[in-house]
Amino acid sequence: MSCAVVFAVSQYEKISHLLHIDKDMASSAGRPRSTCRWDTRLQHREKFTTCIRNNIRDYGSASTCLKELLANADDAKATHLTVCLDKSCYSTDGLLCEGMAVLQGLALWICNDAEFSQDNWTSYTLNVGESAKAKDTETTGKFGTGALTAYSLADVIQVLSGDHLLTLDPHGTHLPDKLESIFGNLVTPQDEHFVDVANDCPGQLEPFLAFTQQCPSVPALALKGHYPGTLFRLALRTRAAAEASMISSNSFTAEQFVSTLHTFLQAAPDLLLFTRHVKRISVYMKEDVQTPCTLLHECAATTSSLPSAIQTCQLQQLSLSLQHADSSKSNKIWLKSVNSSAVGRPEGGVAVLLNEGPAARTNTLPAIAGKVYSTMALPLEGTCLPVHINGAFLVSADRRSIWTGEGDGGQVSDNASHHLQGASCNASYYLRGASCHTHLVTLL
């Protein structure tokens, strides 16, 4: 069997350099009846690399990229997110072109079990920065820029999903003929214009084949056929690449990125509190080409419904099971309310930690630093909340601040405590009213 990727070039439509004015029009303007040409070569056009740089500079640390890709996976209705730091150095033989060789080293995999839709492919290739989810109340992303955060880690992004393989190179320095993208289809070649990757450049798929066959939480990629999920491969930016990059000057080594992974690991359990679909996060490390992936951390959420005294409030017990690198396990038990609108759409929620680890039950709730969520936690200071609150807040484009006020007259709020006082009171009210558990009511 052979595996082929049908490559098609995605190019922007070129605008003619010269605009021709009709002779009669020129004459009526008081000029001789001769051809008048307007030179439009000085049209202002923002480079794609500049667009990316401007969008990612306010997103914060590298771990923010992982949270944004988790939000995108949740919007795609995936149930499982897998992250893996791959230290392997894959063969540089049999590649699409010589420029791809430097991308065969240290890389980050972000995978989920949902397939890219046509809208997803369009957003990544044609409508960059334009969100197809802006009016969708069921999704977290609204601005179309969350996916661009992957460029904070890498200058080249590869995406494999369903029948397709996409390579994005905004600088045009790695792909053939200075192309910025190549889009392919995982099918058997039908004519001479199709590129047979398995025979002509088999090294291009080697990282995908090796990783998926050695990571137990993702489906293995077959040499021919449909892939039931989405794989992002980010070749982490090296120091040399960072010096020449027009996107970011940040570079990464394996040791540095391990620290980023640990930051994400600490946040991972709480990230599952309000996701609509993703219920499991797995984090791995892969040391070399032949070595199977090693599990660093896994957290899984399960929910069970509880009786509620308020019709528009669903009360749930959420259990988070955690597995650590040393094979030890721990658990967190949360009480969560999900408040719905008249049409049943989730509009907000509250989460209270009831129990953490194997500790015996006491008459007090475990203390937590309450956070504000808009599906994902917002990095707000000074909330002074004893619980986590989730709501359909208006947030800034970088999802780091709450937008207050009305329309263009609004402003970004750096301190959320004033605006969340009412939310804190409502949280206590809903939990008291909805809970049928006397023990919990006395604690609140």
In tens, the pLDDT along 212-255 reads 999 999 999 987 778 999 999 999 999 999 999 999 999 999 99
CA 228 to mean position of chain CA atoms: 18
Using 50, 70 and 90 to split pLDDT, how confident is the model at 110? very high
Q: pLDDT tens digit string along 51-89?
A: 888 888 766 667 788 988 999 999 999 999 999 999 999
Q: Is the pLDDT of residue 420 over 90?
A: no
Q: In whole angstroms, what is the distance from residue 134 CA to residue 381 CA?
A: 27
Using 50, 70 and 90 to split pLDDT, how confident is the model at 266? confident
Residues 237 and 371 in one domain: no
Q: pLDDT tens digit string along 127-168?
A: 555 544 444 445 555 435 667 889 999 999 999 998 888 889
Last residue within a domain, chosen from 265, 290, 325 = 265
Residues 199 and 317 in one domain: no
Q: What is the CATH number of the domain that holds 61?
A: 3.30.565
Cα angle for residues 10, 11, 17 (degrees, 5° grid): 170
3-state helix, strand, coil in the chain (%, to 5): 25, 30, 45
What are phi and psi for residue 81, nearest 5 degrees? -115, 130
**Residue burial 210-247, b: 16+ Cβ < 10 Å; e: rest:** bbbebbebbeebeeeeebebbbbbbbbbbeebeeebeb
Q: Of 84 and 308, which is predicted with more confidence?
A: 84
| Burial (Cβ within 10 Å: 0-12, 13-18, ≥19) of residue 307 | exposed
Q: Please, which residues bridge with residue 81 across strands?
A: 112, 281
Q: Of 1 and 72, which is predicted with more confidence?
A: 72
pLDDT at 19: 30
Q: In whole angstroms, what is the distance from residue 351 CA to residue 315 CA?
A: 10
Asked, for residue 88, whether it belongs to a domain, the answer is yes
Q: Is the pLDDT of residue 413 over 60?
A: no
Residues 71 and 123 in one domain: yes
Asked, for residue 210, whether it belongs to a domain, the answer is yes
Residues making up the chain, counted from first to last: 444
Residues 313 and 249 in one domain: no
Residues 145 and 204 in one domain: yes
Residues 243 and 317 in one domain: no
Asked, for residue 177, whether it belongs to a domain, the answer is yes
Q: Which residues constitute the domain of residue 426?
A: 307-443
Using 50, 70 and 90 to split pLDDT, how confident is the model at 358? low
Q: In whole angstroms, what is the distance from residue 115 CA to residue 161 CA?
A: 6
Residue type, 408: D
Residues 416 and 337 in one domain: yes
Q: In whole angstroms, what is the distance from residue 164 CA to residue 175 CA?
A: 17
Residues 190 and 313 in one domain: no
Strands 329-340 and 313-324: antiparallel
Percent of the chain with pLDDT over 90: 33
Written as six digits, the tokens of 82 are 């897998």
Using 50, 70 and 90 to split pLDDT, how confident is the model at 374? confident
Count of domains observed in the chain: 2
Residues 255 and 359 in one domain: no
Quick check: 84 and 215 in contact, CB under 8 A? yes
The winner for highest mean pLDDT among 125-129, 242-246, 347-351, 395-399 is 242-246
| DSSP-derived 3-state class of residue 274 | coil
pLDDT at 164: 82
Only one residue has tokens 């650590």, namely 324
Q: Is the pLDDT of residue 100 over 60?
A: yes
Residue type, 179: L
Using 50, 70 and 90 to split pLDDT, how confident is the model at 182? confident
Asked, for residue 271, whether it belongs to a domain, the answer is no
Residue type, 292: P
Q: In whole angstroms, what is the distance from residue 153 CA to residue 67 CA?
A: 13
Strands 18-21 and 36-39: antiparallel
Residues 238 and 334 in one domain: no
Output DSSP code: residue 204. Answer: G
Asked, for residue 322, whether it belongs to a domain, the answer is yes
Q: In whole angstroms, what is the distance from residue 265 CA to residue 5 CA?
A: 35
Q: In whole angstroms, what is the distance from residue 315 CA to residue 222 CA?
A: 43
Last residue within a domain, chosen from 209, 234, 265 = 265
Residues 258 and 352 in one domain: no
Asked, for residue 37, whether it belongs to a domain, the answer is no
Asked, for residue 355, whether it belongs to a domain, the answer is yes
Last residue within a domain, chosen from 243, 265, 287 = 265
Q: Is the pLDDT of residue 38 over 70?
A: no
Asked, for residue 36, whether it belongs to a domain, the answer is no
pTM here? Answer: 0.80
